[in-house]
Chain A
Amino acid sequence: MTTDKCTNVIEKCIDLKGSENCDDANMVDISISKDVLVIGAGSFGLEAAGKIAAQGYSVSVIGVKTACARQSGCSSEMLETGKVNIMQDVAIDSLAGVTGDFRAVLIKTAGNGTGCNETGCSEKVEKVFGAIVVAPQYSYSPLNKKYGLTLNDKVVSQSQFEAMLGDSESQKKILNSNNGNGSTVAFLTGFAQEGDPTLTSRVLTSALAVQNMENCNAYIYAGNVKVGAKGLERLFTQGRHAGVVCFKPSQMPTIEQTSTVEQDGNCDHKQVSETIKITIKDPVVRTDVELTPDYIVVEEALVVGQQNLDIASTLRIDADLYGFLPSNNVHRFPAKSNRDGIFVVNNSADAANTALKLKELIGNGIKKVAANKAKVDEDRCVICLTCYRSCPHGAIFWQNGAAAISQVACQGCGICASECPMDAIQIGDFTDDSLRTSIKDAVVSAKDNQKDGQPLIVAFCCKNSAFEACEAATQFGHEMPQGFRMVKVPCAGKVDVEFIMKAFVEGADGVMVAACHEGNCKAERGNIYAKWRVNEIQKRLEKMGLEKNRLIFTTIASNMAKEFAGKVNAFAAAIQ
């Protein structure tokens, strides 16, 4: 029996790489479709399509408007592959299947995104794809209302102003305001929203352009100047040297937009003139600083749009708090979504990374994977859909009247196995039996080493975080109680109520469930399931008249060795 504090359960071929180390008998060949669907025909969608097609895969690009149609994104390199099929005004209607064998229903849209027009609804086509790439297309919306402003020909959005700068007639107007004496242009940014470097870059570029026009002056009113991207600080400095004035008041400036109607005797002939006054408090000179610009340029917000939300829900991929894809999880960076085989491309680096990851996933169309990552006992399955709903990777489908698990998409987290009310699912390297044995062994080993008066502690440790931290704590010699042992689990989401109770029954004085921090779980929600279960058991322990603090839930990262030891020691002290 091992006396290591961190008992390492030998990992079998979990992560598919280095197949030479794997027992071929446990491997199975799965064919993966070499067709790839790209949703979103903007320039990054097309860039991804070109890079993927160059690897020899057939790519279908769907979107309402294509960058090709706008003449701005179809490289000859891409078109020459003959592997890219651009389907304009086509949308995804539904998606079934799993990684390697996605069944997408595509629908011709009437340009309105619905597939229907006055003459009826168009036909649907089902196509099989090995992988899917989403290149979200966001739009901009002006934030004038937040400043109490109404848009007109003097109060314009950033996009409108950029269009004016690009148009010679409008440029002349800007030059000739004030009877040919040039214009004063004020930019408002970072008060109605935080903003980001992309938006700042647009403001700085426009402001510099204004400043370089004869007799024109640019003023920027900014919350925070977001120069955190390549070249922006230099651009900002260049602007200031050219004479662009930047105010950074601590609060949104006061803006008065007043229009006066002047009548010149002729009732049909009204002259409407508008004045806009911006006022801020200058903290240094302690007076109000007023400006009456000829133009006000208002910042814009990036808008997710219903279309992107619909795509995310159709594909069953998670978005971040604001609806932007993908969800905010460091383990997915760059370009991965919570579903293996579905990628999100937001920029050029994402496109290249996606092409690489796709090549790794699809290869030559045959993938060797471990056959026993997760298995459903068909006789026990009652098709209650619990596993389908709880699987964070979308790896579960239906076959022969029972749930089936894609060995390609499955990540072996075991959330489904723990949630299954029929106990019909077993995880290859962490079967219920093997975990029961690990728990028993851990307690027995702890008893053998436990010092008098010290508590016996069993910690269920996620292999991605707490297990790594525990091993490092041992290796770096951080002291932990002699009676401490850990049980490695594939994800805290695999820690069943039964296992926690078993640890107590076997003789543990305290049980710790150590998961990844919220938002860091490779299985998206495994840590949340674990926390729920711990809370539930704590309630039960209390009802049974037992001390609920003998069971704790904690979160930790793989690189927190010292903190891990600290948590174990604190727990030991608390229950002693």
Chain B
Amino acid sequence: MDNQTKKVLILGGGIAGLTAAWELSRQNISVELVEKSCFLGGHAIGFTCKATDKCQQCGACSVEDMLKNVVNEPLINVHLRTEIKELKKSAKFNITLTKSDIELPDSQIKNLPSGKAAKGFSKYNNPLYVTDSDKDKMGSSCQITADAVIVATGYSPFDPNRKSTYGYGKWKNVITGLDLENIIRENGSLVRPSDGQKPQKVAFIQCVGSRDERLGNLWCSEVCCPYAMRMAGTVKHDNPNADITMFYIDIQNSGKEFPVFYEKIKQNIRFVRTIPVDIYPLENDGLELRHMAEEEGSPSSESFDLVVLSVGIMPGKDSGKLSEITGIPVNQDGFLDNEISCCPCSSSAKSTQASQPSTSSQSASSIAGLFVAGTAKGPAGIAASMADAGKTAFEAMKYLGVIK
């Protein structure tokens, strides 16, 4: 069969969905790319470059590159503000799509001369601005037949309100790592939400929602240590007088060349091994952070201008619903996954044959032709999501007989 007649439906237009779509289109497979929100790029398109003078390998620019690829590729047909309603498998997949009722993200609402609109982060977003009335016109309600389906619906960031003692939403200068990304992307440097000034004393709190047995979250989100450290480096580069502290349990690696990166960052940033207890407001929108410093073995407290909560990667809010629609099971952590048992795989760039048993390809779901890619199946950074999406595209093509 001619490749041209093969079609794959991809749910999710974040970095995994974009990459999978692009790789499929390279082999002349047409793609229906379905995105629930009004913009492509997912969380990662709102991430900021974390270079100092040197690139810190965060991968944010790769998302921009991939979005550019996808929007210029005629084989990829994009459905914004659209979600899946029903999926039936016969010889092919029959999918019913419907307009999603997702709200425009508050963090992206801008006041334009023409009124209020949500703004896409990249110039490759089309449309670039969406107003409420534009939104109502967007979305596809239709039936699509596809030969295979890739679910790349991503993650939901941990809801910091579940850690109520940190006062997220109550104290203006307690923000999440994602807020921080967007603030820098929008302003070109870090400014405090309360007064628009550059903060001098900044704290990062790691593992907010991750590695938390009490919450039942028995996983490391893998991306937070890298992003917090890179971000701290960027903030320090922009404002050399900034005084930055990171509260942590264990520092996780950021990929290749980590030891050099870590040694350097340790010279600029204070690391304190403890997870703070709570945060109280001070005058001038300052914050008092109480913690039990392990080194001293006694309670202490310290004031900061801004506190960043490194919220973790949680299963997508829709994963239960998607599991019902598609039949893909969720694992014990709530991520969409058919890999019941798996080795600790692939996040180390230095993985070797000696230590990693070769696992047979396992991304294939129990229903033939249905695949999961990216953070929908567990924590991953940009680079790892892209690699996984490529691998998933490979397996989907194998299923389609486009490749062997």
| B138 proximal to A (CB < 8 A) | no
Chain A, residues 196-237, CB within 8 Å of chain B (1/0): the string is 111101100000000000000000001011111111111101
B-chain residues with CB within 8 Å of residue A193 when the two chains form the complex? 259
Are A353's CB and B391's CB within 8 A? yes
- Please indicate the chain A residues that have their CB under 8 angstroms from the CB of B93 in the complex: none
Alpha-carbon gap, A167 to B355, bound state (A): 18
B218 neighbours in A (Cβ, 8 Å): 233-234, 237
Total number of residue pairs linking A and B with CB closer than 8 Å: 251
Shortest C-beta distance, A336 to chain B (Å), equals: 11
Partner of B64, one of A51, A139, A558, A562: A558
**Interface segment, one of B55-63, B95-103, B163-171, B194-202:** B55-63
Q: Which of A228-252 contact B (CB under 8 A)?
A: 228-235, 237, 248, 250
Contact indicator B347/A349 (Cβ below 8 Å): no
**Is A44 on the interface with B (CB-CB < 8 A)?**
yes
Residues of the A chain whose Cβ atoms lie less than 8 Å from the Cβ of B296: 283
B297, A54: Cβ atoms closer than 8 Å:
no
Count A interface residues, CB 8 Å: 89
Answer whether residue B359 sits at the interface, using C-beta atoms and an 8 A cutoff: yes
Find the residue from A197, A320, A465 having the highest chain B CB count within 10 A: A197
- By the criterion of a CB under 8 Å from any partner CB, how many residues of chain B are at the interface? 88
Q: How far is the CB of B19 from chain A (nearest CB, A)?
A: 10
Any chain B CB within 8 A of the CB of A42? yes
Question: Shortest distance in angstroms between A295's beta carbon and chain B's nearest beta carbon?
Answer: 21
B64 contacts A468, CB within 8 Å?
A: yes
User: Is there a chain A Cβ closer than 8 Å to B225's Cβ?
Assistant: yes
Are A226 and B250 in contact (CB-based, < 8 A)?
A: yes
**Bound-state Cα–Cα, A231 to B362, Å:** 15
Can you name the residue of chain A whose Cβ is closest to the Cβ of B49? Answer: A557
Q: With A42-B353, A566-B188 known to touch, is A194 a contact of B262 (CB < 8 Å)?
A: yes
B186 within 8 A of A: yes
| Interface residue SS majority, chain B | loop
* A557 contacts B250, C-beta separation under 8 Å: no
Stretch from B84-92, B151-159, B281-289, B380-388 at the A interface: B380-388
Are A198's CB and B351's CB within 8 A? yes
Distance in angstroms between the alpha carbons of A93 and B353 in the assembled complex: 24
Q: B47 to nearest A CB, angstroms?
A: 8
Contact A346/B394 with A232-B344, A234-B218 known, Cβ cut-off 8 Å: no
A55 to chain B: closest residue by CB = B403
- Within A446-489, which residues are at the interface with B (CB < 8 Å)? 465, 468, 471-472, 475-476
Is A563 interfacial (CB 8 A cutoff)? yes
B23 near A356: Cβ-Cβ < 8 Å = yes
Cβ B252 vs Cβ A226 within 8 A: yes
A-B contacts, 11 of them at CB < 8 A, read A197-B348, A222-B250, A227-B250, A232-B344, A322-B257, A334-B390, A335-B387, A346-B350, A347-B346, A468-B68, A561-B123
Sorted from nearest, which 5 A-B pairs have the closest CB atoms?
A: A520-B55, A562-B188, A228-B252, A42-B353, A557-B49
**Residues of chain A having any CB pair with chain B under 8 Å:** 17-18, 42-44, 47, 51, 54-56, 67, 72-73, 137-140, 193-194, 196-199, 201-202, 222, 224-235, 237, 248, 250, 283-286, 302, 320-322, 324, 328-331, 333-335, 346-350, 352-353, 355-356, 359-360, 465, 468, 471-472, 475-476, 516-520, 555, 557-563, 565-566
